[in-house]
Amino acid sequence: MPTIILDFFRAVWRGPFGPTGLVILGICLALAILGPAIAPYDPVARNYDAAGKLLRLASPSWQHWLGTTLLGRDVLSQMLVGARPALLVGGLTALGTVLIGVNIGLIAGYFGGRIDSFLMRLTDMFLGLPFLPFIIIVLSLTGRSLTTMVIAMTLVMWRSTARVVRAQVLSLREMPFIAAARITGASDLAIIYREIAPNIMPIALVSVAFALAWAIITEASIGFLGFGDPSVVSWGSIVYDAYASQMMYRAPWWVIPPGIAIMVLVSAVYFVGRAYEQVINPRLRTG
């Protein structure tokens, strides 16, 4: 396992896009950890000016670099605090997705036959499930929290990973080294997890990247639609507040930063994912 992670960094570090993505991801990770500590104000506190008047929709200034919201809250502080839910929800969902997806793909691909058709039928059903509407319904029925969000998203997202992994396992299964392992008397489980699993790790890592990107966007979309955890300030919920106040057009500093933050973070994830994909699949390389 550690060698695969090391290989991953070594592979991504080549080319211009990979390192850019890694650096941005590093910065976001630092913000997710330190954000609440370095935020200049309490993100939900109302701020007043020297005369004691509420700072409604104040434009950017030295005191409030990104201005304030309709309720006089500091946008920069909200931005800094918002990195944590984005990465936490994204990261946990990506992890859960890959864990379920890889195992289902391995089992379906290796055993084939009835097990395979059952699992693939199940995957097809999940592929037909409208993603965002399903998450919103689950959240509204079971309570709006980050935990529910992660569980609901994981429950649906494993479908794509399972498909990709299964296809890979189908071709690996016929390789001579699998036959060799079987002759030495290795059990099915040993063959799946010791022989095949290490070979699908690269594909699984690419899946992690795409799941992470998708989960971050979804978390923001849920926040924007107003179904996020009401006690958490996230980049999506900042846009929702601005949208719901109907004042966003008078305060671009309130709406533009969260969108840019999401865009930069998700682009970084794509850059890293694609850079790695090009290394494991040289046919994708340009020219």
Partner 1 sequence: MAGYLLRRFWHMVLTLFAMATLMFFLFRLLPGDPTATVISPSLYPKAQEAMRQQFGLDRPLFEQYLLYLRNLLVLDFGFSFQTNRPVFEMIQGRLLNTLLLILPSMFAAYLLGAVIGAIAAWKRGSAGEVGLVFTATALQSAPLFWLGMLAILLFSIKLDLFPIGHIVTPGLFPEQDWRMYLSADFLHHLALPFLVNTLYQLCFPLLLMRSTMLSTIGEDYIELARMKGLSERRVLFGHAARNALLPLATTLPMILGWAVAGSVVIETVFSWPGLGLLMVEAISRADYPVAQAAFLLIAVLTVFGTFIADLLCGLLDPRIVYA
Is the Cα torsion angle 134, 140, 146, 148 positive or negative in sign?
negative
Interatomic CA distance for residues 189 and 133, integer angstroms: 37
Q: Could you tell me which residues come within 8 angstroms of residue 2 by beta carbon, excluding any fewer than 6 positions away?
A: none
249 belongs to the binding site for partner 1 (CB under 8 A): yes
Which residue, 136 or 192, is less far from partner 1 as judged by CB? 136
For partner 1, the closer of residues 194 and 250 by Cβ is 250
Among the listed residues 224, 232, 233, 279, the single contact to partner 1 using CB under 8 A: 224
Interaction residues for partner 1, span 141-170 (CB under 8 A): 141
- Integer Cα distance of 99 and 218 in angstroms: 19
**Helices 146-172 and 131-142 meet at what angle, rounded to 10?**
140
Residue 178 or 265 having the CB closest to partner 1: 265
Tokens of 87: 């990465």
Nearest distance, CB of residue 284 and partner 1, angstroms: 6
> Dmax of the chain from CA atoms?
84
- Asked whether position 70 contacts partner 1 by CB under 8 A, the answer is no
Q: Taking contact as CB under 8 A, which single stretch among the options 49-57, 73-81, 101-109, 258-266 is the one that binds partner 1?
A: 258-266
Q: Which of 42, 131, 151, 170 binds partner 1 (CB under 8 A)?
A: 131
| 227 part of the interface to partner 1, by CB under 8 A | yes
Among 85, 229, 236, 275, binds partner 1 (CB under 8 A): 236
Give the contacts of 41 (CB within 8 A, at least 6 positions apart): 47, 64, 73, 74, 76, 77
Any contact of residue 205 with partner 1 (CB under 8 A)? no
In the region spanning residues 89 to 128, those forming contacts with partner 1, defined by CB under 8 A, are: 121, 124-125, 127-128
CA distance 101 to 166: 9
CB-nearer residue toward partner 1: 73 or 159: 159
Is position 129 an interface residue for partner 1 (rule: CB under 8 A)? yes
List residues near partner 1 by CB under 8 A: 121, 124-125, 127-134, 136-138, 140-141, 213, 217, 220-221, 224-227, 236, 239, 243, 248-249, 252, 255-256, 258-259, 262-267, 269-271, 283-287
